[in-house]
Chain A
Amino acid sequence: MMSTDCVAMILAGGQGSRLGVLTTTVAKPAVPFGGKYRIIDFALSNCVHSGIDTVGVLTQYQPLELNTYIGSGNPWDLNRNSGGVYVLPPYQKAESGEWYKGTANAIYQNMEFIDKFNPKYVLILSGDHIYKMNYSKMISFHEEKGADATIAVIEVPWEEASRFGIMTADENGKIVEFAEKPAEPKSNLASMGVYVFSWPVLKRYLSMDEGNPNSSNDFGKNIIPNMLGNGEALYAYGFEGYWKDVGTVQSLWEANMDIIANPPAFEIDDKDWKIFSRNPVKPPHYMAKGSKVTDSAITEGCEIYGDIRHSILFEGVTVGRGAVVEDSILFPGVVIGDNCVINKAIIGNDTVISNSCTIGDQTIADDPHKNKYCSAGISLIGGGLIISEGHKFGPEAMIKESI
C-alpha cells in the first residue's frame, strides 16, 4: 500500500484516571506494559507491520513522557523522509485555540495535517489497547465493501457486552444498529475502537459535528450514530485474536499476566510481527547465587538476588536477598530491598521499597490506603517513591507518597 493511501491517527490524549497513581504524571498510552513495552507500542508496531508509515499521535494529557518516548520514531522505523510519526498536541490558532474536546474534535483540529497527505482512508486507533492486528486486511475489506466507514469488532462474552459499544450487523457485515453500552445488548460484537473512514466522508461529518454545540464530539457517541442515521455504508470487520482494553488496574494486571500464562494467552514473541519499543541500554539481567525464578518474564539490566514467582520485571529492577515477589509487575528501575514480600502489586518506575516491607499483606484487612481503583487484591504503588524499612500494607492499597 502506498503511504498516502492511509494515514493512521492514534488517540493518545486520555488520562486514564482509572489507572490511579500510574497515570498521575504520564498519559495512559505511555504506561509500561509486558516487561519492556509501553501500551502505545502495540498500535505503533501494528501500523508499521500493516504498511502504514504515516502516523499522527494525538496527545493532550501529560504529553511530555509520550513525546520523549516517541521522539523521531526510529524504534518503529517511523523516522521517514516522507511520512513517519508526528506527535500532535492541541495548538493555538489565529482566531481561537482550544483543548481537544473529544475524540472526534481531536481529529477535526488536525484536518489540515491529514489533508497534507491527501489520503483515501484514515485509520483511527486508540493508544491504550493491547493486541496484534493487520490493519491492511481491514482496509482491503473496507475497499471491497465500498464502505464509508468500517468498524473493527470482536466477540465478547454476552455477560460483558453491556460494557462496550455494541454493533448489530446483517449477514453481509453491514451495520444496522449501534448501541453504546446497552443495558440489554442485541449482539455480542463489541467495537474495538479501530475505525477506517473514507477521508472525504469523515471530513464532512467532522465539520457537521463541530457545528453542533450540543455534541460531545466523540466517535462512538456522535460520529458513528450520525453516519448510521444518515444511511451511510457502515461495515463491521470481525477480528479474531487477543484484544484487551487496559483501562483499569485489574485489566492492566490481567493483560500482563496473560503474557506469562502457560501457554500464554497473548504471545508477544513473534518474529514476523515484532512489537518494537525504545530499547534500554542495559546489560543482560543477572541472576545471583541463591536467586530463584519461575513462571516469569525478566528483561535487561535486572539484578535478582531474591525469589521471583509469576511476575513481570521491567528493565533495571533490583530484587534483594530473601525477598519474595509474586504475581506482581515491577516497572523500570524499581528496587525491592532484602526480605521484602511483594504480593500482587504493580509498582511504578524507580520506586524504592526498603528492606523488610510487605505489600499485599493478607493479614491486614482494612488498610487505610485501600483505594477504589484497586480491585481483585491488587495493590498499586506510585512511581518515584521511597517506602522506608519495615512498612506493611494490606491488599488493594494505593500509595501515592513516600512513606
Chain B
Amino acid sequence: MNNTMGIILAENQEIRLNELTDVRSVAALPFGGRYRLIDFILSNMVNSGIINVGLTTMFNYSSLMDHVGSGTPWDLNRKTYGLFFLPPYIRRSSNNSGITGGSVDLLYGVLTHLRRSPQKHVLIAGGNLVCNMTFDGAMEFHRQNEADVTVIYTNLSENPEQLKRTTVYELDAENRVIGIEHNPRNPKTPYSSMDMYILERTLLIDMIEEAYAKGSHDFIKDVLLTNLSSLKIYAYEHKGFVGRVDNIKSYYENSMLMLDDAIRKEIFSGPNPIYTKVKDQVPTRYGESASVSDSLIADGCRIDGTVENSIIFRGVNVGKGSVVRNSIVMQNTIIDQNCDLESVVIDKECTLRPLKRLIGQPNYPIILPKRTMI
C-alpha cells in the first residue's frame, strides 16, 4: 500500500451537528471518550501502510490542526511524506475564495500536492466514519478488476433512515456500479457509500481539472455519475462495523454503540490500534461514593457520583450525589454535586454547578455547547 497516497476530506458541508460542529470540523468531533473522528480514518490509512496523507479542510480547522499536530501519534512525522495539512486554497487574484464548498473544490485546492506526490494510487476518504479497517482488500479488488475507480460501500439495510442520507450504489453481478443516487427518497439498494474512492493519481488530476473547468463542484454527482458509462467503477464491500456520524442522533447512537462489547472490541482491541493524541493524564480516580456501570471512562477523571450507560472523556469531574445517565460528557467538564443528567451531550469545558437537572431524550439529547456554565 505504500504506492498509495491518502487524501482525507475533513469537511463535509452536508453534515451539521448544530453547536457541536459550529466550533470545529466534523472530523475533529470528539468521539468514544478519548478520540476524534479523524483518528479512525488516519489510523486505518496508517495501518494499511499509507504514509503520505493529505488532510483538507475548510472551516474552523484550528481544533483539527491542534489535534493532528505534526502527525506524531500516527507515526506520520516523517522526513519523506508523512502528514500534510492542506488548508483551503484561496487565490489572491480572484474574488473566488475557493470556499464554495464542494468536494471538487477541495480537491482542486490540493492539485499541487497531488502532482508533487509520486504514489501511483490515491485513496480519498471522508472524516466522519467510525470503523477499523485496512484497505489491502479493496486495493487488491481494484487491481483484479482493472477498475478506473473503486468505491467502498457498506450494507446499510438495518438503518433505512440513515441510508436515505447517503450515496447509494446500484450494482451488477460483478459489483460494477451501474447507478448512483445521492440522498435517495426511495433507495433501490442498501449499498451505502462509505465516501471512499481508490483511483490512479493521474486519473484523479485529469478528472478534477476537467470538472473544475466546467464549473462543477461535486465529485459524486459531477464526476462519477456523469462518467458512469465511460469509466469502470467497481464497488468493494466492507463487512465490519461502520458508524456514520451525520447528525446529532447518529453521533449519539454510534457513541452509545461503543458500550457494546463486540463492537467496542472490533473497533479498539483488534490487531490494528486506533491512534490518537496523547495527553499524559493521570489514571482516573474513583472516590468512596462512586458507582459506575456500563460506561466508558477515559483517564484523568475524578468520579465521586453515579455514572450509568455513558461515555466520559478525559479530565471530567463527577461530584458526589450527581447522577449521569445515557450521556456523553466531553473533556474537562466539571459536574458539581447533586446534579441529575440524562441523555445529555456536554461539550468540552462546561461547568454545572450543584443541583442542576437536565433531562433529554435518547432520540433527542440535550446539547450543551462548549464552555457552557449553568
Contacts and interface: CB of A to CB of B under 8 A. Distances in A.
Nearest to B277: A279
Nearest to B289: A294
A346 B259 CA distance: 29
B264 interface: yes
A267 to B, nearest CB: 9
A338 to B, nearest CB: 15
Interface string B286-301: 1111111111111110
B288 A289 contact: no
Interface string A245-274: 000000000000000101000001100001
Contact of A282 (B268, B286, B313): B268
A283 interface: yes
A284 interface: yes
B290 A293 contact: yes
Contact of B34 (A34, A35, A276, A284): A284
Main secondary structure of the interface of B (DSSP, over half): loop
B292 A299 contact: no
A221 interface: no
A297 B287 CA distance: 9
Nearest to B310: A287
Given A284-B298, A284-B312, A36 B283 contact: yes
A275 B311 CA distance: 25
Given A269-B300, A288-B293, A283 B283 contact: no
A298 B284 CA distance: 5
A262 B292 CA distance: 19
Contacts of A296: 285-286
A284 B33 contact: yes
Given A268-B282, A283-B34, A262 B287 contact: yes
Nearest to B279: A279
Given A283-B32, A284-B296, A286-B264, A294 B273 contact: no
A88 B33 CA distance: 39
Given A283-B32, A286-B264, A298 B283 contact: yes
Nearest to A290: B293
Contact of B264 (A75, A283, A308): A283
A148 interface: no
A284 B293 CA distance: 14
Main secondary structure of the interface of A (DSSP, over half): loop
B48 interface: no
Contacts of B311: 284
B274 interface: yes
B286 to A, nearest CB: 5
A286 B296 contact: yes
A281 B273 contact: yes
- Interface hub of B72, B264, B274, B292 (most chain A Cβ within 10 A): B292
Contacts of A40: none
Contacts of A269: 282, 285, 300
A209 interface: no
A277 interface: yes
B285 A297 contact: yes
A353 to B, nearest CB: 20
Given A283-B264, A283-B268, A286-B259, A276 B280 contact: yes
B119 to A, nearest CB: 26
Contacts of B33: 283-284
A287 B297 contact: yes
A153 B312 CA distance: 42
B347 to A, nearest CB: 17
Given A284-B34, A286-B264, A295 B288 contact: yes
Contacts of A275: 280, 282
Contacts of B282: 34-36, 268-269, 275, 297
Contact of B287 (A282, A286, A295): A295
B251 interface: no
B280 A284 contact: no
B292 A287 contact: yes
A299 B283 contact: yes
B290 A284 contact: no
A216 interface: no
Interface string B248-269: 0000000000110000100111
Contact of B299 (A260, A284, A286): A284
Contacts of A137: none
3 A-B pairs with the lowest CB-CB distances in the bound complex, closest first: A35-B283, A284-B33, A299-B283
19 contacts: A75-B278, A262-B287, A269-B282, A274-B280, A283-B32, A283-B33, A283-B34, A283-B258, A283-B268, A284-B312, A286-B264, A286-B297, A287-B295, A287-B296, A295-B286, A297-B282, A297-B284, A299-B284, A300-B298
Interface of B: 32-35, 72, 258-259, 264, 267-269, 273-276, 278-280, 282-300, 307, 311-313
Given A279-B279, A284-B311, A285-B296, 13 more contacts: A36-B282, A75-B280, A281-B274, A284-B297, A284-B298, A285-B297, A286-B259, A286-B295, A287-B296, A288-B294, A289-B294, A293-B290, A313-B283
